[in-house]
Structure 1
Amino acid sequence: MTETPEPPVPAARPDTPEARPDILASDDDRTRAEVRVRAAVESGRLALDELGPRLDEVFRARTRGDLESACRGLPEPGPRDALVVDRAPTSRSFLVGIFGGFERTGEWVVPPKMTLWTMWGGGVLDFSEARFSSQETQIRSFSIWGGTRMVFPDDVEVDVKGLGLFGVFDKSATRRIGKAGTPRVAVRGLALFGAIVTRTKALRRRPRD
């Protein structure tokens, strides 16, 4: 018995709603276009004096085609674009590890101010995949007979100043970039019979177009 082959699935036509540029733009569409323009300025792909006119085009856009015109010549944002986001923090600003610990890793949104306490316990903050809710982030870290470890990506500016009293306050992650739009984290505190360790993580970069 000969089986009848199934008909092939037709390819999407260029006039489907997803492909048509005359579809009205949503607020999410405009937000993505705004991020795309700002990321291009921060990376040096677009001159600063072009930011205002391009954003005006984004805000005036009525259709997806208008948004593509506003983003002409610009690539889609990559995974490390827009490090400062207009989103609510996803972590509490006060973290305590007493006879226990705390951990923040993966994708999370950092509050503008954080206070960390470890006492006979430990804590880990990994900012490698984090986004920041403010251009300037202030972290106060105190460790008494405990330990705290912070890992920062190498595209974030970090300033570490603290005192290790019968303990260790490590400043290895201190890094100045001096590039406009770069998030800056200031770490201050005290390690008393404990340790506060900071490290820098080198990130893999996608090749520039």
Structure 2
Amino acid sequence: MTDDAPAPDLRASDADRERVAEVLRDALAEGRLDMEEFQERLDATYQARTYGELAPITRDLPASGTVVAPSVSLTKDPGASGSWADRIVGGDDSGTSTWAVAVMSGFQRKGRWTAPRRFNCFAFWGGGEIDLREANFADREIVINAVAIMGGVDVIVPPGVEVVVRGVGIMGGFDHREEGVPPEPGAPRVIVSGLAFWGGVGVQRKLPRAERQRLREERRREKQALKEELRREHLERAERQRQEHLDSAERHRRELEESRRPHDPLNLHSPHKQHERRPEDR
């Protein structure tokens, strides 16, 4: 198969979906699509699994600045190091763990792990924590289905992740505060669903530990630099005060010498004046 040959069943990469999304954004800016059409096609883009599903989305749109129908690359370009594409593993990866139960106890999923496409958890008189800050994702969209009965479940996501909350609360509740935050390009979507009965499911957005440590180190260096600057200003101020004190003491010494000098209105005792000798003294 050549690179130009159609391969509708070939799995599309996250980079391929981002290229199609960029064409849609350009079409929206040029007025070729209205907002409703743009949103529908964008949702279809991120839900597409194969090139065959991606190709029709932009078939009636020109590529950037040309009238040629946009094509989808059949080769997977490597994502930039540290990008979301590196963390969305895709394929047949079902995740490190797919369920958790806490009955009068607790559970945690944190650190380096792969979040599955669907994670089911149950907490009864207990609590659980699902930390996605350092996790990989089995797909671009994952679902966390949480049931909390007289207990609680906390979901922690990193900045840039899109959050959608669809849970039902009965004498309990789901946290919707992180909904509506614009996601970063290529970032995964986390859907939180389930039931909270006399309990709650919270969603928090926190920085990864490495990023927090980096920011703490930056703040420490800034405080140290500020401390050094204040110390330098204090030393300079002390030196100025010392010099002013010396100058004041010198002025006081001179004034004291002037006050002790004998009164000589004719300046007869001036050491700088020499008396002229009269002719009769010669």
TM-score, normalised via structure 1 length? 0.59
Matched, 1:155 2:160: yes
Q: Give the TM-score normalised by the residue count of structure 2.
A: 0.45
Residues 151, 122 of structure 1: alpha-carbon distance in 2 compared, 3 angstrom cutoff: same
Judging by fraction of residues, say which structure has more helix: 2
Asked if the contact 1:83/1:183 (under 8 Å) is kept, the reply is: no
Letter in 2 for 1:124: E
Count, aligned residues: 150
Tell me the distance in 2 between the aligned counterparts of 1:91 and 1:101. 18
Please say which structure displays the higher CA radius of gyration: 2
| Equivalent-residue separation in structure 2 for 1:200 and 1:85 (angstroms) | 22
The residue that corresponds to 2:202 in the other structure is: 197
| Distance of 1:51 and 1:82 partners within structure 2 | 20
2:112 maps to 107
Aligned-partner residue type, residue 118 of structure 2: K
Structure 1 gaps, min length 5: 1-34, 59-70
CA RMSD of superposed structures (Å): 3.5
Q: Can you give the 5+ residue segments of structure 2 that lack an aligned partner in the other structure? A: 1-12, 23-62, 65-69, 215-282
CA distance in 2 between partners of 1:112 and 1:81 (Å): 16
Give deviations 1:96-128, integer Å, cap 9, x for gaps. Answer: 111211101111111101111100111000100
Per-residue CA deviations over 1:178-207 (Å, capped at 9, x if unaligned) read 66532111111211111111111246499x
| Distance of aligned partners of 1:183 and 1:177 in 2 relative to their CA distance in 1, 3 Å threshold | same
More strand by share: 1
Does 1 or 2 have the higher relative contact order (CA < 8 Å, sep 6+)? 1
Residue 98 of structure 1 corresponds to 103
After superposition, the C-alpha distances for 1:6-65 in whole angstroms (9 at most, x for unaligned) are xxxxxxxxxxxxxxxxxxxxxxxxxxxxx9x949x78x9xx9979828x38x7xxxxxxx
Question: 2:87 aligns to what?
Answer: 83
User: Which position in structure 2 is the counterpart of 1:144?
Assistant: 149
Aligned-pair identity (%): 30
